[in-house]
């Protein structure tokens, strides 16, 4: 079977020697002297901050570098015995599957079924074998219902699953995934990680998974490779990686590892199960009967920023009309920082678009009395000019840049900015024209803004949310990232199938659960305790023989 190709031929799944790469026109190389060997059947997590070289390494490993991106390539990259210099992405498709950060850029067919069939057709498989393979991969990823859909009607999370299905349908011996859970809700994200682990264990598929949210996948890894400035900074087991991260790059460490390190506990845990085992062994077993004090949120203002009453929205995703929002009632006041959460397809993006007047209402009403600025899931859609000064000009543009704390030369090219800077610039563009003097609109909405962000960039986004709220705006952020929600939100609105299923202070919603709970909350299982700082304080009290207050 093709998934065992690497082991059958005696070749490693991937072998890289002295790899260096510089994109055309770039000031510095993205990869420098990278050497590694991945054997068939390994499960590897690829860690590193934004811009560390993870994506470039994956592109080189599937032939996109140099055949698609050009640039200057040094050294060798060999996949299942095939040199990427001599074989392009199409020729390597039967031995390596690749899922990019932006799955929408990989989809070329009209329907999902046709997209899954395409690589099998190119390979010349028998029609019956193609039909079986498409059915099997659709069942494995729980997307049979998507097969007849046109790809233009898919949500971001659905596109991500389809792109993964395309990568898996030929059953290659090596799968490369770049932030595959970034648009998936916690349940779907966990299911994806364990599906990859099952394919890895049962079929011998080597998996290289680049992720920022390591708490989702570290426990599944055999090995961690950490990139730092285009070089390999660490290559070893997950436990060793956590020690490395704590000492050299704390922003890469998981919340439970940060909590243990802060409380002086060892060894560092690779996941929730490991953390609870270590605590039990040290006589610190979590006790849900102990209650910590309430986390005080900032007091909201008096003005209404968003109000929905009996809101119903019907959309047609390609299979007939569907009620996407059903009888929504909610109220958000100025100064509040609210996380909008829920499973894929729950209606989060639709709610924001309805608030901005971009979708037609069936019943009810939704209003943002003080105005609204909406940053959609793809900030790049806002950046269409070659100079920042052309994107934003005049007093309103200057006020918008001040509001997002961005001070950049007017002649700078937006494409040269970091991911966090591009996002702030896109938000400034969304704000421009909606600012009166220096006063922000009453509601600022960001739809899935943390896609592809490391913890450092998320911290900047948290600071931005604080700043916008301090300036009098309500901040509503749609996110699947529970740890990010803990960092910024006063309140969580949880949607399920188009309805509000929970609306309460952040610590109430994000503790005591299985999926919509922070890693610290899942480890300690103490009501209202959700953050690393709270976890450290709780553990220190318990170790000292006292009780947390």
Per-residue confidence band for 452, with pLDDT thresholds at 50, 70 and 90:
confident
The answer to the question of residue 154 being in a domain is yes
Q: Flag whether 297 is in a domain.
A: no
The rounded distance, in Å, linking the Cα atoms of 538 and 549 is: 8
User: Is 21 in a helix, a strand, or coil?
Assistant: strand
Residue in 141, 255, 137 with CA at minimum distance from that of residue 191: 141
Q: Are residues 273 and 422 in the same domain?
A: no
Are 542 and 497 within one domain? no
Nearest to 55 by CA among 30, 80, 82, 18: 30
464-501 pLDDT per residue, tens: 899 999 999 999 999 999 999 999 999 999 999 999 99
Judge contact between 252 and 75, C-beta under 8 A.
no
State yes or no: pLDDT of 425 exceeds 70: yes
pLDDT band per the 50, 70, 90 thresholds, residue 543: confident
Tell me: do 186 and 116 sit in the same domain. yes
* In contact, 153 and 185? CB cutoff 8 Å: no
| Separation CA 271–CA 137 (nearest Å) | 28
Are 446 and 534 found together in one domain?
Answer: no
Q: What is the pLDDT of residue 450?
A: 85
Q: Residue 295 domain-assigned?
A: no
Does residue 481 share a domain with residue 413? yes
pTM metric for this prediction: 0.87
Residue 412 binned pLDDT confidence (cut-offs 50, 70, 90): confident
Q: Are residues 413 and 270 in the same domain?
A: no
Residue 373 three-state SS: strand
Same domain, 243 and 261: no
Q: Which two tokens stand for residue 285?
A: 């077993």
Would 296 be classed as within a structural domain? no
Q: What number of H helices and E strands is found in the chain?
A: 20, 19
Task: Domain count for the chain, please give it.
Answer: 3
Same domain, yes or no: 423 and 537 = no
CA distance 415 to 317: 33
Same domain for 240 and 180:
yes
Please report the beta strands in 86-202, taking only residues with DSSP state E, as ranges in sequence order: 96-99, 174-178
pLDDT of residue 386: 85
Structural domain containing residue 155? 2-251
Say yes or no: 540 and 521 in one domain.
Answer: no
**Interval 448-457 mean pLDDT:** 83
Compute φ and ψ for 545, nearest 5 degrees.
90, 0
For the chain, the distance separating the N- and C-terminal CA atoms, rounded to the nearest angstrom, is 59
Query: Any idea what the CATH number is for the domain that residue 386 is in?
Result: 3.40.50.300
pLDDT, tens digit, 9 for 90 and up, residues 214-252: 999 999 999 999 999 999 999 999 999 999 999 999 999
One domain for residues 47 and 60: yes
What gap in Å lies between CA 391 and CA 383, rounded to an integer? 7
Same domain as 365, residue 266: no
User: Would 73 be classed as within a structural domain?
Assistant: yes
What share of the chain in percent tops pLDDT 70? 93
Q: Assess if residue 173 is contained within a domain.
A: yes
Predicted pLDDT of residue 276? 94
Asked if 65 and 79 count as a contact pair (C-beta separation under 8 A), the reply is no
CA-based nearest residue to 373, from 438, 427, 447: 427
Residue at 532 is within a domain: yes
Q: Is residue 294 part of a domain?
A: no
């Amino acid at each position: 079977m093709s998934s065992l190709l690497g082991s059958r031929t005696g070749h490693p799944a991937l072998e890289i020697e002295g790899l260096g790469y510089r994109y055309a026109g770039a000031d510095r190389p993205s990869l420098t002297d990278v050497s590694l060997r991945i054997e068939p059947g390994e499960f590897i997590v690829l860690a590193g901050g934004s811009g560390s070289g993870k994506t470039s390494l994956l592109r080189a490993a599937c032939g996109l570098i140099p055949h698609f991106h050009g640039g200057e390539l040094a050294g060798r990259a060999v996949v299942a015995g095939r040199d990427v210099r001599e074989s392009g992405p199409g020729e390597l498709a039967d031995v390596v599957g690749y899922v990019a950060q932006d799955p929408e850029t990989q989809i070329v067919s009209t329907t999902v079924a046709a997209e899954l069939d395409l690589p099998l057709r190119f390979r010349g498989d028998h029609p019956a074998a193609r039909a079986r393979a498409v059915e099997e991969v659709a069942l494995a990823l729980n997307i049979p219902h998507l097969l007849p859909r046109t790809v233009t009607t898919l949500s971001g999370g659905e596109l991500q699953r389809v792109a993964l299905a395309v990568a898996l349908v030929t059953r290659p011996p090596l799968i490369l995934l770049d932030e595959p859970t970034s648009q998936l809700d916690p349940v779907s994200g966990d299911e994806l990680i364990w599906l990859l682990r099952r394919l890895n264990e049962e079929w011998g598929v080597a998996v290289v998974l680049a992720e920022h949210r390591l708490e989702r996948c570290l426990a599944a890894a055999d090995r961690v490779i950490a990139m730092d400035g285009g070089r390999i900074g660490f290559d070893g087991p997950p436990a060793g990686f956590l020690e490395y991260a704590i000492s050299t790059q704390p922003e890469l460490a998981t919340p439970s590892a940060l909590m243990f390190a802060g409380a002086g506990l060892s060894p560092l845990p690779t996941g929730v199960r490991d953390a609870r085992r270590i605590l039990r062994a040290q006589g610190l077993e979590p006790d849900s009967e102990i209650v910590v004090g309430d986390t005080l949120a900032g007091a909201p203002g008096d003005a209404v920023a968003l109000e929905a009453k009996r809101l119903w929205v019907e959309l047609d995703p390609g299979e007939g009309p569907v009620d996407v929002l059903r009888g929504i009632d909610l109220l958000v006041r100025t100064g509040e920082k609210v996380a909008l959460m829920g499973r894929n397809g729950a209606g989060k993006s639709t709610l924001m678009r309805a608030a901005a007047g971009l979708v037609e209402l069936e019943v009810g009403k939704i209003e943002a009395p003080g105005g609204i600025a909406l940053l959609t899931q793809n900030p790049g859609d806002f950046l269409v000019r070659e100079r920042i000064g052309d994107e934003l000009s005049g007093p309103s543009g200057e006020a918008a840049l001040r509001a997002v704390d961005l001070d950049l030369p007017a002649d700078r090219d937006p494409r040269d900015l970091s991911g966090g800077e591009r996002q702030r610039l896109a938000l400034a563009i969304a704000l421009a024209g909606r600012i009166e003097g220096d006063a922000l609109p009453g509601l600022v909405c960001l739809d899935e803004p943390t896609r592809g962000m490391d913890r450092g960039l998320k911290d900047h986004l948290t600071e931005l949310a604080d700043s916008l709220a301090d300036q009098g705006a309500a901040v509503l952020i749609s996110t699947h990232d529970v740890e990010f929600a803990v960092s910024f939100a006063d309140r969580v609105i949880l949607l399920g199938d188009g309805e509000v299923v929970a609306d309460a202070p952040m610590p109430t919603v994000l503790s005591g659960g299985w999926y919509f709970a922070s890693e610290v909350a899942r480890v300690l299982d103490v009501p209202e305790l959700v953050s690393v700082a709270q976890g450290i304080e709780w553990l220190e009290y318990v170790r000292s023989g006292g009780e947390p207050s």
